[in-house]
Structure 1
Amino acid sequence: MSKSFKALGLAVGALALTHLPAAAQTKITNQGVSADEIVIGTHQDLSGPIKFWGVPVSNGMKMAVEEINAAGGIHGRKIKLVLEDSGYDPKRAVLASQKMVERDKVFAMVGPMGSPTVLASQDVLFDAGVMQLFPLTAAEFTYKFDPAKPQERLKFSNILPYVESTRAGLKYMMELKKFKNPCIMYQDDEYGKNVLDGFNQQLEAMKVKPASITSYKRGASDFSAQVAKMKSDNCDMVLLGAVIREPIGVMTEAKKLGWEVTFLGATPVNVLEVPALGKEAVEGLYSISGFEIPYEDTAKGKVKEWLANYKKMFGSAANTQAIIGYNAVQTFAFYVNKAGKELTGQKLLDALESGAEFRDIFNSPPTKFSKTNHLANTITQVQQIKNGRWVLVKDGLMF
């Protein structure tokens, strides 16, 4: 082949390449990273209806930042945490996110709180090329991404999703106890509907018809009508798509009526406050869960030390929420460390999608992501309240 013909072929090939649609690139920011600092942001409910989540989560995050910085930071960079109060209000979450992106120049948003607040504010981040990592909501929008929308690659979740965890826990309980008339009572919002979806999908797969489906408005405190209906529908198991006050209220009402039935909570029920506030009323309650809750008198090694340090720092006992906040920052630090000394947004994205496994000190299932899967895991447990504390019944459940 003559040189000129070869050159012509190369030129035509190059021309053809310029007419191919460009692979859409994910725009990622490098702001907030300096020689000695990494700025991260979070918005929590510190004053609103779920501050019993927001405050301990923030404490856990602060504790992790302090530990990491005291040990010299990550590749010589200290973490600076910017914390804003959303009051669990989507509008405030949007304003807080704008402030953190534009004024504080955050590198990443880590562990932001709540389904409605995270959903309302996430586009502020993606438009600016800021990653949203490990938000405190198990809704699907936190990890499902459309490959055709490159900015959606900036979201990663390490919280057990409601639909999958509900299915795994319900399947285990149905097979264990051979229930014939399963029922559900769920909170009438995004969270509750996810639990309802899991309930319906699992019963359909098992070819079982629900005996009763009932809901309540968020913030309700009287459940007498729902309990009376479920009792008359002959429910032998009730799945609770609820949070803290509702399981206590419902089980108190059931005991008043002398109604013996098995209750199973979705994952938000699995917190220390339920047995602490519910006392005898909630004895025997089962709950779906992501990891075992450690207790000071039975914890060992690093976990025992961690519980003591938390109490020293904040003057109160650590809970599930504090662990989740602590782990959000530790998970971030693990992948930043993997990204190397020359930290950029792209290098952090590559580290997150590398398949490297983060393991926490609490024996939770490992956190692991890939280029196509931005959800850490779906491994589920079932626990039960016995003598005022949560006890593991079965772990390693998957549906």
Structure 2
Amino acid sequence: MKRKDNGKWKLGIVFIGFLFALSAISSTAMAKEVKLGVFGDVTGPIAFTAQQFYKGYSDYFKWVEKYDPIPGITIKILMEDTGYDPKRYLPVLKKFSAAGISAGYINGTMGTMTMDKELRKLKIPCVSEGSGYPPAIKPPGYIFLLRPLYPDVLAAACIHFMDLWKKAGHKEKPKLIEITWDTPYGRGCIALGEPWAEKYGFEVLPYQLFSGQPNDLSTQLLRAKKLQANLVFSNHLEGHQAVLLRDARRLGLLGKMQFCGGSETRGAEIIKLAGKAVEGAWCVSHFVDWSETENKGIQLGMKMQKEFRGKLDYQTQYLMGVIPARITEQAIRYAAKTYGPENVNKETIYKALTTGPEIDMLGLSPNANYSPTERRPFKHLNISKCVNGVWVREKYHIEVPWLKP
């Protein structure tokens, strides 16, 4: 009798397990697939940066699918190489639109500029790293920025520098000079940021531009030295900033001027490229440093890198890629809950972004809060400083003026 009973129990357990498995398969099969399009500039002049963006973006969605799936939804990421080339964005957008994407991710200002008008026509919401094109937010369209416009990045540096300047007892105006990449992204601070800086109390010196990936920026630095610049600001990439800082060290300018860059000028890569020349440099960004190990967003980034990449590489652009993924995922989750999983599409995701609640960014950046009339997520930025080869907090939560035309 006992053997027969045991046999019945075993059959029952197997049957229940079968039902659970069938239920899971059925649930997955019934889930709506939401397609996201990544305009990945993974070749071309910003290739390294964009590759890190995509790692962070795709890893976040892997994590969500594995540990916190959106009920009734599966995510499919489509990625095409746009190469930071204006000729490549619109054909990729056409391809993505035909494939039925519900939202997208743009890697830079070139994409923002090129696709703004067409995205308004197609009504596809896209989050974008490219904050160098003010017309995208005035009037508000379908591009949602991941930080304030670039002039506000310059403003954050000026605000903090001016505080330190006054505390040091200086009475004269500090002198600001921009040495930056000659692209819409690199020049993104100039038109709006420099007039604001002048009104804020700076003497603004003539900006110095360079093209491509330079091997030497001595000419621009010697110009800054001759004009007695105090704050040198640059809106470009780690490779550019590494050359600038190495040349500044060789010319004996470190410690005589404060060097500061935007979000893409800090991280593990610039330490490799410029070594001790990075010591004391600043970086303005919209997210915290890897060194903030008690931060929930940083802890998540570390877990994802260990699980999906096998090690921690401390590339800050990886974290930049997590931010658009988090915003998009939360908008999809809200749309699914509010309108039903079967109704998640570009229209309901747009509604979620413009009328949904503030998005909890896990402390990685300020919480994101768009509206029907606003395409910037928040108005606070951070300044980090390189100390003993590690990027650490210099001054966080600086309120910026939200400059726009």
Unaligned ranges ≥5, structure 1: 1-33, 147-151
Aligned pairs for 1:365-384 (under 5 A) are 365-384=366-385
Corresponding residue number in structure 2 for 1:171: 159
More helix by share: 2
Counterpart-to-counterpart distance in 2, 1:353 and 1:305: 26
Q: Does 1:234 align with 2:235?
A: no
Corresponding residue number in structure 2 for 1:159: 147
Corresponding residue number in structure 2 for 1:69: 65
Given that residues 109 and 133 in structure 2 are in contact (C-alpha distance below 8 angstroms), is that contact kept between their aligned partners in structure 1?
no
Given that residues 40 and 106 in structure 2 are in contact (C-alpha distance below 8 angstroms), is that contact kept between their aligned partners in structure 1?
yes
Corresponding residue number in structure 1 for 2:394: 393
What is the one-letter code of the residue matched to 2:306? K
Equivalent residue for 2:88, pick from 68, 89, 92: 92
Given that residues 279 and 389 in structure 2 are in contact (C-alpha distance below 8 angstroms), is that contact kept between their aligned partners in structure 1?
yes
Following TM superposition, by how much is the alpha carbon of 1:143 offset from its aligned partner in structure 2, in angstroms?
4.6
Counterpart-to-counterpart distance in 2, 1:88 and 1:321: 16
Corresponding residue number in structure 1 for 2:12: none
Between the two proteins, what is the percent identity of the paired residues? 21
- For each residue in 1:329-350, what CA deviation from the matched residue of structure 2 results, as whole angstroms up to 9, or x when unmatched? 2211212222221334333222
Size of the aligned set, in residue pairs, is: 357
Corresponding residue number in structure 2 for 1:205: 199
Q: 1:50 to 1:153 in 2, by over 3 A?
A: closer
Q: Does 1:309 align with 2:304?
A: yes
Counterpart-to-counterpart distance in 2, 1:100 and 1:189: 26
Which stretch of the first structure deviates more once superposed, 76-85 or 331-340? Answer: 331-340
Counterpart-to-counterpart distance in 2, 1:315 and 1:75: 29
Unaligned ranges ≥5, structure 2: 1-29, 167-172, 401-405
Which stretch of the first structure deviates more once superposed, 188-197 or 175-184? Answer: 175-184
- Any runs of at least 4 consecutive aligned residues in structure 1 with deviations exceeding 6 A, and if so which? none
Q: 1:123 to 1:236 in 2, by over 3 A?
A: closer
Counterpart-to-counterpart distance in 1, 2:301 and 2:124: 31
Q: 1:257 to 1:129 in 2, by over 3 A?
A: closer
What is the one-letter code of the residue matched to 1:144? I
- For each residue in 1:285-338, what CA deviation from the matched residue of structure 2 results, as whole angstroms up to 9, or x when unmatched? 112121212149x45666335313313312452522222222212211212222
Aligned pairs for 1:301-340 (under 5 A) are 303-316=298-311, 317-339=313-335, 340=338
Aligned pairs for 1:162-311 (under 5 A) are 162-178=150-166, 180-259=174-253, 260-295=256-291, 298-299=293-294, 303-311=298-306
Given that residues 73 and 79 in structure 1 are in contact (C-alpha distance below 8 angstroms), is that contact kept between their aligned partners in structure 2?
no
Corresponding residue number in structure 1 for 2:355: 354
- For each residue in 1:332-374, what CA deviation from the matched residue of structure 2 results, as whole angstroms up to 9, or x when unmatched? 1212222221334333222222251112224411100111112
- For each residue in 1:50-85, what CA deviation from the matched residue of structure 2 results, as whole angstroms up to 9, or x when unmatched? 121121211112212222222463231100110111
Q: Could you tell me the TM-score, scaled by structure 2's length?
A: 0.81
Q: 1:283 to 1:376 in 2, by over 3 A?
A: same
CA root-mean-square deviation: 2.3
Q: 1:304 to 1:207 in 2, by over 3 A?
A: closer
